Structure 1
């Protein structure tokens, strides 16, 4: 009996699910019927509008051509009537002269012959041109609508554009730009433009039901390729699709194409920061009162009976803007080590990031550190860190530091530094981020993971992550792979 109930329960559940599917299908079909009615009315209205517009154009052309015919007729009528009037007057004058001449011939007086001869000689008829000034032909105003009639007879509904195909082999991802190229199955002269959509994602393959990032749209592309610039690759992939559009309708989207957008992405570990460093997302500012504020909070805590879970000190330390510390089981930097670390270790590959710093800072450093960097250690003053250090206390200087040894760098001080790390090759290079000019390279062998490290005193800086290794940096690294621009005493 129990098995029969279970079997019936399963069948009932399956039927209920099927009923739900049928109900949803019926709703979709009803909605499709409503949409069909509305869409049909819309396209019919559009068609009538287009034909009205075509009739209007034809009427305008007709009016213009009729006006030209009337103007031509009026001009020729004037010419012919003027010539006809002149001829009529000349003929009338000639008839009068002929009558006078015939009477003179019958006369015997010699003076009359001389006078009449002179009048006849000056008769207007002798000065007339009997060539018509205008013809009665209007053949040059005839029209032949054979070609136009064939074109009108060829009017039909615009075909839906074919679906483009994104050419994955032609797409390029470099220097934080993505160039996407596509093609149609066959040429189509009716295509007006293309619409490209892309979405960031951390998943390879078809899109999931719920994605964290929306589709971004680029409309009105006239060519069969497009380059997205100024990107920050904060996800592992980007998914693309494209559709073709003519004047009336858009075609179907292409198959989705997912391109890998590898870049080094990290945040600043606020839990590692010195108390005098105010960390806001990827920006750091020196705060001379930072340590004193924490001490005052702790003193105030000791003077009250507040619960530790709700004390001002705990509230301040567990700010939502702070990320879990990567320095597990260790305190933040202290004393004169005004340092903050990134929250992501590097243990493979080639990585790149940039840092913009205030050149008026009294001291600033950027580089890499091992996980065992001491809480009192300043960057570059132990064998656990490598850095470029700006000293702006008595006189401005830029030095490369490692293991408490330094080398002064003979190069202009940029306002933005690019940091490149090739973990396998043990290369740490610093570049002028604007010009991609190499400033210094450390050559070493990383025996354990390293982490981005920064320090600042009486100043500020901000970090830009999600960057690919620039092509210029890759080229520079290949060019300098056989040589070392570092000081051997520093490695």
Structure 2
């Protein structure tokens, strides 16, 4: 009976997952239909606009050519009419002289003939007819303004839809995820000189595989990429994966998106557990500030925000890590007396983890490291066997020490304002770095018998924590080089 129930339960679970998958696909199909309608309308409008633009260009070209022809005709007409008028006047003058000469030849008066002949000769010498050019100043040929659109007509007939750029392929094996950056590399099926740029879209997700229609995070767009790769920097990996897709664009049209690929973004993400904090610490998400007013203000604030506590919010409940457990609070405060401590909300029981903490160097005291969950209410970081930390003392004189089991080693190095903390649970390594230069400050080597949890303390100061970080490459390289050497900090482990 129990076996049958278990089998039926598996079948039911499988069927429910398949139903969900089909529902997601149906939603995708409906969305595709809507997109098809909208895109069809858009391309039709673009086609009308392009042809209207082409008609406008032709009309403007025709108008310009007609204007030039009219101007040429008017100019030549003016020249020819002026030349015609001058010739007409010269001809009239010449005919008058010819008639006068004929009359003189027919005259019988001998006395006046000699003078008349001399006057006629002088008039002919000065006559306009002998100064005229009997060649037209301009040609009546207008063939230089003829047009032949044979080639252009052929080009117009060859107008067709633009070739859509090919769909790129993201080369998953060449993509890199390291140092909180992601380099995505892709390639086209074949070179295309008409490609102008690429568009890359990415979004965070907690699901492996192709993106779902209903995702918690929107697509983020990176435009104008000229190369076939792009690097995203300054990321905070607060989800397990990131999904990417890319498309190619020419001057006028974009191609289809590539098949989405999902890259795993392993990083250590935690928050500060305000329920574990000392009453004099004001905890806000990943920031802590010393509050000398103590428990009354804290109690009022916690009571006011009790229903909105991150530990009880729907989003927190939905994404709760199995390593995150509610604090086992004893009495009013998890820590009390001079243990000005607050813990993270996520345990470390495997793997390599890294986080950073920025602190006020003017704090009277500050500590950061890891502790067992069983750290006592009155225990101070580094003063018991249940905690390991690096400690800033700014009371009488400023000093930086490594503390564990009530033993301390003074660190001879400049005090940074930002510390990187690296924990390799399996190897029992806990290292502290100058977060800016990645200079190693100190390494504890031990064997963790129980899961550990990030732990911090501050007195008369403040600090903030940055999570969602991968182990920096330079830290991993340094750890590999030092893995075979004996620890110089054995006295503290």
Q: What's the CA shift for 1:410?
A: 3.9
Instruction: Kindly report which structure 2 residues correspond to 1:332-481, keeping only aligned pairs within 5 A, or say none.
Output: 332-371=334-373, 373-382=375-384, 384-393=386-395, 397-403=398-404, 404-411=407-414, 413-414=416-417, 416-423=418-425, 424=427, 426-431=429-434, 433=435, 436-448=436-448, 449-471=451-473, 473-474=475-476
Q: Which residue of 2 aligns with 1:19?
A: none
Change (3 A) 1:202 1:328: farther
Instruction: Kindly report which structure 2 residues correspond to 1:60-139, keeping only aligned pairs within 5 A, or say none.
Output: 60-86=60-86, 133-139=137-143
Q: What root-mean-square deviation, in Å, do the aligned CA atoms of Structure 1 and Structure 2 show?
A: 4.8
Instruction: Kindly report which structure 2 residues correspond to 1:284-295, keeping only aligned pairs within 5 A, or say none.
Output: 284-291=288-295
Instruction: Kindly report which structure 2 residues correspond to 1:273-312, keeping only aligned pairs within 5 A, or say none.
Output: 273-291=277-295
Q: Please give the alpha-carbon distance, in whole angstroms, between the structure 2 residues aligned to 1:36 and 1:291.
A: 61
Mapped contact 1:270–1:325 kept (Cα < 8 A): no
Q: Which residue of 2 aligns with 1:271?
A: 275
Question: Within the alignment, does 1:320 sit opposite 2:320 as a pair?
Answer: no
Give the alignment partner of residue 242 of structure 1, picking from 214, 224, 246. Answer: 246
Q: With structure 2 as the length reference, what TM-score do the two structures score?
A: 0.71
Q: With structure 1 as the length reference, what TM-score do the two structures score?
A: 0.71
Mapped contact 1:87–1:128 kept (Cα < 8 A): yes
Of 284-293 and 334-343, the range deviating more from structure 2: 284-293
Q: Please give the alpha-carbon distance, in whole angstroms, between the structure 1 residues aligned to 2:32 and 2:276.
A: 59
Q: What's the CA shift for 1:104?
A: 9.9
Change (3 A) 1:133 1:163: same
Q: Please give the alpha-carbon distance, in whole angstroms, between the structure 2 residues aligned to 1:127 and 1:450.
A: 118
Q: Please give the alpha-carbon distance, in whole angstroms, between the structure 1 residues aligned to 2:476 and 2:285.
A: 29
Q: What's the CA shift for 1:250?
A: 6.0
Q: What's the CA shift for 1:468?
A: 1.9
Q: Please give the alpha-carbon distance, in whole angstroms, between the structure 2 residues aligned to 1:49 and 1:451.
A: 64
Q: Please give the alpha-carbon distance, in whole angstroms, between the structure 2 residues aligned to 1:226 and 1:188.
A: 19
Secondary structure of the 1:55 match is: helix
Q: What's the CA shift for 1:437?
A: 0.9
Q: What's the CA shift for 1:290?
A: 2.3
Q: Please give the alpha-carbon distance, in whole angstroms, between the structure 1 residues aligned to 2:444 and 2:156.
A: 77
Q: Please give the alpha-carbon distance, in whole angstroms, between the structure 2 residues aligned to 1:99 and 1:470.
A: 117
Secondary structure of the 2:152 match is: helix
Give the alignment partner of residue 148 of structure 1, picking from 144, 147, 152. Answer: 152
Mapped contact 1:365–1:456 kept (Cα < 8 A): yes
Of 269-278 and 138-147, the range deviating more from structure 2: 138-147
Q: Which residue of 2 aligns with 1:308?
A: none
Mapped contact 2:366–2:459 kept (Cα < 8 A): yes
Change (3 A) 1:66 1:264: same
Secondary structure of the 1:279 match is: strand
Q: What's the CA shift for 1:150?
A: 1.9
Mapped contact 2:421–2:430 kept (Cα < 8 A): no
Mapped contact 1:191–1:244 kept (Cα < 8 A): yes
Q: Please give the alpha-carbon distance, in whole angstroms, between the structure 1 residues aligned to 2:139 and 2:474.
A: 78
Mapped contact 1:411–1:439 kept (Cα < 8 A): no
Q: Please give the alpha-carbon distance, in whole angstroms, between the structure 1 residues aligned to 2:275 and 2:470.
A: 27
Of 47-56 and 62-71, the range deviating more from structure 2: 47-56
Q: What's the CA shift for 1:190?
A: 6.8
Give the alignment partner of residue 260 of structure 2, picking from 256, 259, 265. Answer: 256
Q: What's the CA shift for 1:466?
A: 0.6
Mapped contact 2:203–2:220 kept (Cα < 8 A): no
Mapped contact 1:238–1:261 kept (Cα < 8 A): yes
Q: What's the CA shift for 1:261?
A: 0.8
Give deviations 1:279-328, integer Å, cap 9, x for gaps: 2221212121223567x99xxxxxxxxxxxxxx99898887235844568
Q: What's the CA shift for 1:157?
A: 4.1
Give deviations 1:420-456, integer Å, cap 9, x for gaps: 344437250322x4xx313443233231044322111
Of 373-382 and 245-254, the range deviating more from structure 2: 245-254
Mapped contact 1:327–1:371 kept (Cα < 8 A): no
